[in-house]
Amino acid sequence: MRGDALAFWLREPGSGEIRPAPLPEPGPGDVFVRTLHSAVSRGTETLVFRGCVPPSQYAAMRAPFQEGDFPGPVKYGYLSVGVVEHGPPGLLGRTVFCLYPHQTAYVVPARAVVVVPDDVPPARAVLAGTVETAVNALWDAAPLLGDRITVVGAGMVGCCVARLLARFPGVRVTVVDIDATRADVAAALGVAFALPPDAADGRDLVVHTSATSAGLQRSLDLLAPEGTVIDLSWYGDAEIRLSLGGAFHSGRLGIRSSQVGMVSPARRGSRSAADRLALALDLLRDPAFDALITGVSRFDELPDVMARLAAGTLPALCHTVTYGSTDDRG
Under a CB-based contact definition with an 8 Å cutoff, are residues 128 and 92 in contact?
A: no
In the predicted structure, residue 325 carries a pLDDT above the cut 60: no
In the predicted structure, residue 159 carries a pLDDT above the cut 50: yes
DSSP one-letter string for 226-277:
EEEEEE----TT--------THHHHTT-EEEE--SSS--TTTTTT--HHHHH
**Torsion sign (Cα): 289, 280, 163, 260:** negative
Query: Does residue 289 share a domain with residue 305?
Result: yes
**Torsion sign (Cα): 321, 326, 329, 330:** negative
Instruction: Determine, yes or no, domain membership for 269.
Output: no
* Mean pLDDT to the nearest integer, 169-185: 96
pLDDT value at residue 245: 86
Query: Does residue 231 share a domain with residue 205?
Result: yes
pLDDT value at residue 327: 40
* Mean pLDDT to the nearest integer, 61-86: 96
Measured distance between the N- and C-terminal CA atoms of the chain, rounded to whole angstroms: 27
pLDDT value at residue 328: 42
pLDDT value at residue 11: 97
* Mean pLDDT to the nearest integer, 30-38: 97
Distance CA(307)–CA(172), nearest Å, equals 37
CA distances from residue 90 to 54, 93, 96, 110 in whole angstroms, order as listed: 42, 9, 12, 10
Percent of the chain at pLDDT exceeding 90: 90
Instruction: Determine, yes or no, domain membership for 268.
Output: no
In the predicted structure, residue 79 carries a pLDDT above the cut 70: yes
* Mean pLDDT to the nearest integer, 138-145: 96
Q: Which residue has better confidence, 324 or 93? A: 93
Under a CB-based contact definition with an 8 Å cutoff, are residues 159 and 292 in contact?
A: yes
User: What is the residue type of 206?
Assistant: V
In the predicted structure, residue 1 carries a pLDDT above the cut 60: no
Q: What is the CATH number of the domain that holds 79?
A: 3.90.180.10
Task: Residue 297: name the closest of 279, 284, 309, 310 by CA.
Answer: 309
Instruction: Determine, yes or no, domain membership for 265.
Output: no
Query: Does residue 140 share a domain with residue 92?
Result: no
Q: Of 220, 242, 257, which marks where a domain is finished? A: 257
* Mean pLDDT to the nearest integer, 38-61: 93
Number of helices (H), then strands (E), belonging to the chain: the values are: 9, 17
User: What is the residue type of 45?
Assistant: E
pLDDT value at residue 231: 97
Query: Does residue 184 share a domain with residue 122?
Result: no
* Mean pLDDT to the nearest integer, 67-86: 97
User: What is the residue type of 276?
Assistant: R
pTM of the complete model beyond 0.85: yes
Query: Does residue 119 share a domain with residue 212?
Result: no
In the predicted structure, residue 329 carries a pLDDT above the cut 80: no
Confidence grade of residue 46 (pLDDT, cut at 50, 70, 90): very high
Q: Of 213, 241, 257, which marks where a domain is finished? A: 257
pLDDT value at residue 4: 86
Confidence grade of residue 238 (pLDDT, cut at 50, 70, 90): confident
Alpha helices in the chain (DSSP H): 42-49, 122-125, 128-141, 156-166, 182-189, 213-221, 247-250, 273-283, 302-311
- The angle that helices 302-311 and 42-49 make with each other, rounded to 10 degrees, is 100
Query: Does residue 116 share a domain with residue 46?
Result: yes
Query: Does residue 305 share a domain with residue 187?
Result: no
Listed in sequence order, the residues at least 6 apart from 329 whose beta carbon sits closer than 8 Å to its beta carbon are: 37, 121, 123, 296, 320, 322
Q: What is the CATH number of the domain that holds 167?
A: 3.40.50.720
**Pairing mode, strands 203-208 and 223-231:** parallel
Task: Residue 97: name the closest of 23, 49, 173, 35 by CA.
Answer: 35
Instruction: Determine, yes or no, domain membership for 169.
Output: yes
Q: Model confidence over 291-319: pLDDT tens digits?
A: 999 999 999 999 999 999 999 999 888 99
Distance CA(207)–CA(230), nearest Å, equals 5
Q: Of 257, 275, 310, which marks where a domain is finished? A: 257
How many domains is the chain built from?
A: 2
Query: Does residue 101 share a domain with residue 158?
Result: no
Range of the domain at 31: 5-127+284-322
| Geometric angle at alpha carbon 322, from 317 and 324, rounded to 5° | 160
Query: Does residue 56 share a domain with residue 112?
Result: yes
Residue 77: Cβ within 10 Å count:
28
In the predicted structure, residue 326 carries a pLDDT above the cut 50: no
Query: Does residue 142 share a domain with residue 103?
Result: no
Query: Does residue 151 share a domain with residue 68?
Result: no
Query: Does residue 88 share a domain with residue 172?
Result: no
* Mean pLDDT to the nearest integer, 146-159: 97
pLDDT value at residue 2: 62
Question: What mean pLDDT, rounded, does the chain reach?
Answer: 94
Instruction: Determine, yes or no, domain membership for 146.
Output: yes
From 1-15, 33-47, 89-103, 257-271, the region with the lowest mean pLDDT: 1-15
Instruction: Determine, yes or no, domain membership for 278.
Output: no
Instruction: Determine, yes or no, domain membership for 262.
Output: no
Instruction: Determine, yes or no, domain membership for 279.
Output: no
Distance CA(191)–CA(172), nearest Å, equals 8
8-state DSSP, 64: T
In the predicted structure, residue 10 carries a pLDDT above the cut 90: yes
Confidence grade of residue 98 (pLDDT, cut at 50, 70, 90): very high
* Mean pLDDT to the nearest integer, 231-245: 90
